[in-house]
Homo-oligomer: A and B are copies of this chain.
Amino acid sequence: MKSTPNGSDNISTGLLLQSGMIRQVMAWVYTYTTLWLQVLKNIENIVREEMNNYACFETLMPSLSPKDIWEKTGRWDTIDVFFHIPVTNDKEYWLNSTHEEIITPLLWEFIQSYKDLPVCAYQIQNKFRNEKRAKSWLLRGREFIMKDAYSFHSSDEEFKEYYEGMKKVYLKIFERLGLASDTYIAQADGGTFTDKYSHEFQVKLAIGEDFLFLDNMSKECFNKEVTPSMIPVLNISDEKLLERQDMYAPWIIGVEALAKTLWVPAHKSTKTMLFETNDEKFIVASVRGDYDINTLKLQKIIGCKSISLASEEKVREITWAEIGYAGIINLPVWIELYIDDSITWLTNFETGTNKTGYHSINVNFWKDVPVPEKFYDFKEAKKWDKNPKTGEIYEVFKASEVGNIFPLETKFSDVLWVRYLDENNQEKIPLMGCYGIGVSRLMGVIAEYCMDEKGIAWPENIAPADYYIVVLGENNLEKALWLGKKLESEWKKVILDDRMGKKVGFWQKMGDAELLGIKNIVIFSDKTKDTEKWYETKIRGEK
């Protein structure tokens, strides 16, 4: 196309559409045309080579699976992004977006004793997710290609060694894909699989969907969702402790409104909320007014599976006040109160009073509220926060996830009844790990990462072709074909642009070569001065 089409929600997708490399079939579902498919194959081959080098076995599992195996692990009802396919009145299939339930019983057959461990099988395969809304363009589709690997282990040490080894395999893969200098291993939530962290492989990218917090001293890196954080300045002040005042400020709710009315700055106010846990327990949590509560961190502190905001009805019942006046004063004694460490050193601060219409100011620990046994860290980390472990201010940036690795412990091997015999002939449950790379997502990330104003400057390892031959004039076609065939015989991939006619002249062809992102451009033209060679060469991006 002559220009970037409308409707693409970022620049690289626009360039890919313009060059004809991809076409949308429906929202978040694309056809790959010839050159994009070549990029995919190049990436797949790099992933495959490195996985094989780590002694992983490649397999290919189906997309369809029956309901019963997902019921065994309890995931039929808990994962909501699966496509359910009604088959007959009484039967239903699933379009797999993950394959633990398929690979586990399969590998069980091949594992007899500890001598067969560790073992790892993987596949590069089409996955389906019934996304309710787009996360962004190519990055997360309803149909996408993933490399997913699953490993089995006889001990925690053996698992850890393998898991650390896989990190190196991944870094090697991303290095070969030209992403080495901007790939980060971030700690992330372990999901429902493990109480431990999982690890995400993230590429620094302005349009990334995740925020990473990097400690440049310790090199620790966290996904925002799990970043431990410390406020940048501890407010130990020598301010004189004032008398607590209960202010009547009805219908004015929220930190900002309060700051305006009561002249309390956000960092001297508090934000208090009621939550209900999955086991129907109610708790109260309070954080400094300029922070938000990170429910994932809070949930891990409480030690429950999930938490959600308490209903308005419950808030009224428990605090005896309307919504908006919850605080750490006047709470019923039976309720557990969690206070974030951002409040620890506050003096003369504001809090709700659990009395409709009232807020208290000039509140102080000891005097007005008992000092809790422990302050916690469940604030949502933000810019300028520090790593509590090192005191180092985080570098914060956006990134896009291209891979993740998880300890699965015995979650699947236990219920799917995989056992092996250990050295003493005892039946044991193997530990598992899983390792994903979003292959089609990676293509989108690399496109965005490598683009310039003229197109996608593909890394040579994965470019759709090695040479782009521009032919001007029918009389030069034969010579160009000769060179093309010669290059192909040396295993180079060649695009020969033999479009003729006034409409596709030199600049059009050069522009298309740059749009497609081919590094080596060869020009056959009557104007070529170097008569010995019959052609000129150019390197994309060089003057």
> Which B residues lie within 8 Å of A128 (CB)?
63-64
Contact between chains at B63 and A34 (CB < 8 Å): no
- In chain A, positions 330-371 with a C-beta closer than 8 Å to chain B are none
> Which B residues lie within 8 Å of A40 (CB)?
60
| Residue of B30, B32, B59 touching A33 (CB-CB under 8 A) | B59
| Residue A61 interfacial (CB < 8 Å) | yes
| Residue A130 interfacial (CB < 8 Å) | yes
Contact between chains at B58 and A37 (CB < 8 Å): yes
Complex: chain B residue closest to A38, CB-CB: B58
Contact between chains at B62 and A34 (CB < 8 Å): no
| Residue A20 interfacial (CB < 8 Å) | yes
Contact between chains at B37 and A143 (CB < 8 Å): no
> Which B residues lie within 8 Å of A257 (CB)?
none
CA distance A143 to B65 in the complex (A): 10
Complex: chain B residue closest to A110, CB-CB: B20
- In chain A, positions 9-35 with a C-beta closer than 8 Å to chain B are 20, 23, 25-26, 29-34
| Residue of B29, B34, B66, B130 touching A57 (CB-CB under 8 A) | B34
Contact between chains at B86 and A60 (CB < 8 Å): no
A interface, over-half SS:
strand
CA distance A23 to B33 in the complex (A): 32
Complex: chain B residue closest to A101, CB-CB: B25
CA distance A93 to B141 in the complex (A): 14
| Residue A142 interfacial (CB < 8 Å) | yes
Q: How far is the CB of A111 from chain B (nearest CB, A)?
A: 12
| Residue A98 interfacial (CB < 8 Å) | no
> Which B residues lie within 8 Å of A65 (CB)?
25-26, 29
Q: How far is the CB of A262 from chain B (nearest CB, A)?
A: 46
> Which B residues lie within 8 Å of A60 (CB)?
31-32, 37, 40
| Residue A95 interfacial (CB < 8 Å) | yes
| Residue A84 interfacial (CB < 8 Å) | yes
> Which B residues lie within 8 Å of A66 (CB)?
25-26
Q: 11 A-B residue contacts at CB 8 Å? A: A20-B109, A25-B65, A25-B102, A26-B64, A32-B61, A33-B59, A37-B59, A63-B63, A64-B142, A83-B93, A87-B130
User: Using a CB–CB distance below 8 Å, which chain A residues touch chain B?
Assistant: 20, 23, 25-26, 29-34, 37, 40, 57-66, 83-87, 93, 95, 102, 106, 109-110, 126, 128, 130, 142-143
Complex A-B, nearest 3 residue pairs according to Cβ-Cβ distance, in ascending order = A32-B60, A26-B66, A29-B62
